[in-house]
Each structure stands twice: as structure tokens, then as C-alpha cells.
């Protein structure tokens, strides 16, 4: 049984926090401004997610590499600067197994390895690798609060 710790980490709007597991990594940044993100659902609906500047945008990758970090940075840029929409796949969609990155946003994100990637329109849960599973991330003023077993992380300017 792993020890759950709670840790507050300062995160400026021009920084990304990387949580690094053995088989995947997660990048988290602040929305940095009041904005909207559009979410396309399998039911052919569009959900509008309203974010405030302190809210989080999180991107999960299923590998650990320089390529994964570049992909995370690119996806965060597309979401935050271009307003790129998030697309949710239907449950058991075969493309779900091929997604290199998945996204969640809001004031609270919990990581779970037992869900199918890309199929959850609710933005408080995000598919992640097994050793990041169970971590919860909350937006706090000027940073994030992380609860769970946090072993390996870094903060990088973008």
C-alpha cells in the first residue's frame, strides 16, 4: 500500500508541471486566462467547459520520452492558445487504443489507469499510466495541490 501525501507546488501560467511515471507522463498547466474549451461527445452534442485562469489543463501520455513531452507541450498549446476542441470517443471505440495523448481540464483532475482512454466527457477524470493512477490534482491559487504518491516530477517553463 502506497503512502498518500499531499503536496502544494507553485505553478506559474508560463510553466508546465510534469508528473513522470515508469510507463507514462502527465503535463499540467494553468489555463492562464478565462476561456472556453469545447468538448464533442459521441451523442453529437457539444459541451462547453468554462475555465478560469487558475483552472488546470492536463495532458496524459502513455510513454515517457522527449517525444511525449513535446506532444504534451504541443497539445497544451493547441488547447490554451488555439482553443482546439476535445473529442470524446464512444465506449469500446477501437481508436481509443491508439490515442497517444488524452486531455482533461477544470479545477480538479484525478488520474485513473482503469478507464478507457478518450471516452470520458466528464473532465474530472483522466486516463493515466498505472503508477500515476490514483493521484488527484487540484487547482489552487498560484499553483497546484497534488494528493497521492508523488515520486518523480519536474516543472518546466514553456
How does pLDDT run across 13-71, given as a tens digit for each residue?
Answer: 999 999 998 899 999 999 999 999 999 989 889 999 999 999 999 999 999 999 999 99
In angstroms, how far is the first alpha carbon of the chain from the final one?
35
Per-residue pLDDT of 109-143, as tens digits, reads 999 998 888 877 778 999 999 989 999 999 999 99
Length in residues, the chain: 158
Average pLDDT score over the chain = 90
Position of cell 478507464? Answer: 115
Cell of 83: 482553443
Answer positive or negative: Cα dihedral of 9, 16, 151, 127: positive
> Using CA atoms, how far apart are residues 14 and 124, in angstroms rounded to an integer?
23
This prediction's pTM: 0.91
Amino acid at each position: 500500500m502506497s503512502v498518500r501525501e499531499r503536496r502544494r507546488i507553485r505553478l506559474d501560467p508560463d510553466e508546465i508541471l510534469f508528473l513522470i511515471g515508469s510507463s507514462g507522463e502527465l503535463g499540467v498547466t494553468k489555463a492562464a486566462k478565462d476561456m472556453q474549451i469545447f468538448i464533442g461527445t459521441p451523442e453529437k452534442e457539444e459541451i462547453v467547459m468554462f475555465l478560469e485562469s487558475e483552472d488546470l489543463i492536463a495532458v496524459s501520455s502513455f510513454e515517457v520520452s522527449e517525444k511525449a513531452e513535446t506532444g504534451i507541450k504541443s497539445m497544451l498549446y493547441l488547447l490554451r492558445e488555439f482553443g482546439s476542441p476535445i473529442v470524446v470517443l464512444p465506449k469500446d471505440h477501437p481508436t481509443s487504443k491508439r490515442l497517444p495523448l488524452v486531455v482533461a481540464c477544470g479545477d480538479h483532475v484525478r488520474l485513473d489507469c482503469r478507464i478507457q482512454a478518450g471516452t470520458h466527457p466528464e473532465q474530472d477524470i483522466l486516463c493515466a499510466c498505472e503508477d500515476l493512477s490514483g493521484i488527484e490534482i487540484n487547482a489552487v491559487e498560484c499553483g497546484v495541490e497534488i494528493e497521492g504518491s508523488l515520486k518523480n516530477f519536474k516543472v518546466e517553463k514553456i
